[in-house]
Amino acid sequence: MMIKDFGERIASVWEGLRPVTRDMLVRALKSGLTGSQPSKPAKFSYDAHADWELSRLLSAIDEQSKSAEIRNDSGKLDELMQLADTCARVLESQTGSAEVFIQLAQRALREHNYKKLDELADRLSARFSAGEIAEIIRQTDSPQIRAIAYETLATLPVSSVALLLGDSLYADIAAAALEQKAFEYESDEARETLEQFDADSFRRGD
């Protein structure tokens, strides 16, 4: 089936992909269909722009998959879902973006795919910086996603989280994560860092 058969929006986003991104996606799709070992996206020139391109395509696919035209054509729906799953798989293996993580986690929640949600949670500490994890907490309204991000932030080294205390955007998030680390993980270092932060804030009149 041709991309244009999935609708104008998907076709437009597809045509806007850079050749390297399109090639990466086609190879990943073919490897998934044949059941062979997926090509590692890292072979390709994967960057923040590829992240944005695939995220945009996945959004278009998820939106189009709700249409009656797609829903009433099982063959077309199956192919569209294969493309969506391939986009998601590449993003899951490569992204370090808060926005994309939220998109993938929301998708897993919609599908009640809690195994996938656990896999995404495992990737947070492995690939995301403390700042990006804090950004996930700041951006999402989902209690489940916030809980996952807070739990991950609380497992990071105190020094990594403490750096966020000096950023007004993330200070409250970092303090909450350190409090969780201090009490749930019984971290003396986290407790002492919090006490110092509170003392400094008091002196400044915050």
CA separation for the pair 103, 29 (Å, rounded): 20
Contact of 87 with 58, CB cutoff 8 Å: yes
33-51: pLDDT as tens digits = 544 444 444 455 688 999 9
pLDDT score, position 41: 42
Residue whose C-alpha is closest to residue 129's, from 185, 103, 167, 89:
167
Token pair, residue 77, equals: 């729906």
Is the Cβ–Cβ distance between 11 and 3 less than 8 Å? yes
Q: Residue 184 is which amino acid?
A: E
Distance (Å) of CA 28 to CA 32, 39, 195, 199: 6, 6, 50, 53
Residues 6+ apart with CB under 8 A from 160: 129, 130
Collapsing DSSP to helix, strand or coil, 95 comes out as coil
What SS3 class is residue 73?
Answer: coil
Which stretches of the chain score pLDDT less than 70?
A: 1, 33-45, 202, 205-206
What distance in Å separates the CA atoms of residue 111 and residue 97, rounded to the nearest whole number?
21
Contact residues for 115 (Cβ-Cβ < 8 A; gap 6+):
none
Q: What angle do CA 97, 86, 122 make, to 5 degrees?
A: 45
